[in-house]
Amino acid sequence: MTESNKMKEMPVKKLMVQMGIPMILSMALQAVYNIVDSAFVGNMKVGSEAALNALTLVFPVQMLMVAVGIGTGVGTNALLARTLGQGNTKKAAKVAGNSLFLGGIIYAVCLLFGIAGVKAYISSQTVDPEVISMGTSYLRICCVISFGIIFFSLFEKLLQATGRSLYSTIGQVVGAVINIILDPVMIYGIGPVPEMGVKGAAYATVIGQVASAVLLFLFHMKLNQEFEHGVEYMKPDAGIIKEIYAIGLPAIIAQALMSIMVYVMNLILKFSPSAQTAYGLFYKVQQFVLFLAFGLRDAITPIIAFAYGMGSKKRIKDGIKYGLLYTTALMIFGIIITEVFPGAFATLFNAGQSREYFIGAMRIISISFIFAGINVAYQGIYQALDGGIESLVISLLRQLVIILPLAGIFSIFARNGQMGISLIWWAFPITEMIACLVGYVFLKRIRKNKVERLS
């Protein structure tokens, strides 16, 4: 059965599983990078507590780099696929070339920040000299050698645009495996490699990213033969760049909100380095669980969008039904794992003084997973039905408008140890529940105004 026939004829219940599993695995691999670094760093013989805090503080910038790379890639992906569908191979070559030109600009900005802005950024979140030193070293390496993650994000979307998503998954697997192998070697010092501590974690990460980018570049050059390749196509074209970001900018904003939220939460928790570290560690576990929902969302959106394009009410409704059902099942699994094994995760990270804060955060914040997952599914449904504004509103509510003021207010009463800090953790379930109610209202309105009006 061809891809087009599958989208038209295969039962949505089965199609969503078939499309969703590879995407879920792919997203899970992205989350592995952050968890692996923290696990190995947390088990350093000296300075593990400070190192974990440092990784917490650098995480928002890492996410921001990924956000800009992926957002640019999303715009490139959609525009390239549409251009190829129109049979315009010359424009397709320019789209691919301009995306690589934009990658060079993004890397130049990251490089400048890595050279001149890293220390001031870390110092804004902590006064501990050891944490400042470790965070500055780690983030500087990640920014100076950020071309790996930036161009990996672009080549991944170029391959997906031509239907070769399997190769992007291969690239992710290779990068993750290299990172996992190099982490203990470079952090602890094994064989001829000297002990590098936090710097070793950074080098292991960027080497894995560069390896993934190089592999996907080779796949792109060899397999993407639908259009020409060459430096001449990298000449900036204002019209094409505008088209790329018309599609990609909302994705960048949505991803960037995550960075802003984590950064502001670090500032709110600045009065307690242990709570700050605990939040950073839990956020990585949370991302791993929510990335499962993101992966399924990437299956929900094209299935419903295709059904919307062909005017099939039944397939749209099935897409909504099974998308929400499967997402809920994934999130229940995530809640069970985090509620039953918080101590095991704390041991994995060797959380030290942050252990009790980490376990407290996990038990409270993980309650929000089911609502957060549904919100992610809602956003995928909105995007498929031309509801970009509704999707952006949900992102703003979840990651800016409700969560940060609420956490800030709760922090006023949180200066008396773990009991008070646990109040801050409750801001997350409250936020996700409110956003979920708003999302349900949006869904009813979109179904009424767009789905029910289909002939």
> Residue 142 and residue 114: Cα distance in Å, rounded?
8
Of the pLDDT bands very low, low, confident and very high (cuts 50, 70, 90), residue 349 is: confident
What does the buried/exposed string (b/e) look like for 157-193 if buried means 16 or more CB atoms within 10 Å of the residue's CB? Answer: bbbbbbebbebbbbbbbbbbebbbebbbbbbbeeeee
Cβ 1 vs Cβ 10: under 8 Å: yes
| 375 pLDDT more than 70 | yes
Residues 6+ apart with CB under 8 A from 356: 418
Three-point CA angle 245, 251, 257, nearest 5°? 125
Mean pLDDT of 206-229: 91
118-127, 233-242, 260-269, 297-306: segment of lowest average pLDDT: 297-306
Kindly report the pTM of this predicted structure: 0.78
One-letter amino acid of 443: L
The residue type found at 189 is G
**Domain boundaries in the chain?**
1-236, 254-454
Judged by average pLDDT, the poorest of 45-49, 75-79, 140-144, 355-359 is 75-79
pLDDT at 4: 47
Which amino acid does the sequence have at 192?
Answer: P
Q: Who contacts 304 (Cβ-Cβ below 8 Å, separation ≥6)?
A: 315, 316, 319, 320, 323, 380, 381, 384, 385
- Give me the helices (H) in 117-197, please: 118-123, 129-144, 147-161, 165-184
Render the burial of 345-368: b for 16+ CB within 10 Å, e for the rest: bbebbbbeebbbbbbbbbebbbbb
Backbone angles phi, psi at 225, to 5 degrees: -95, 5
pLDDT over 80 at 64, yes or no:
yes
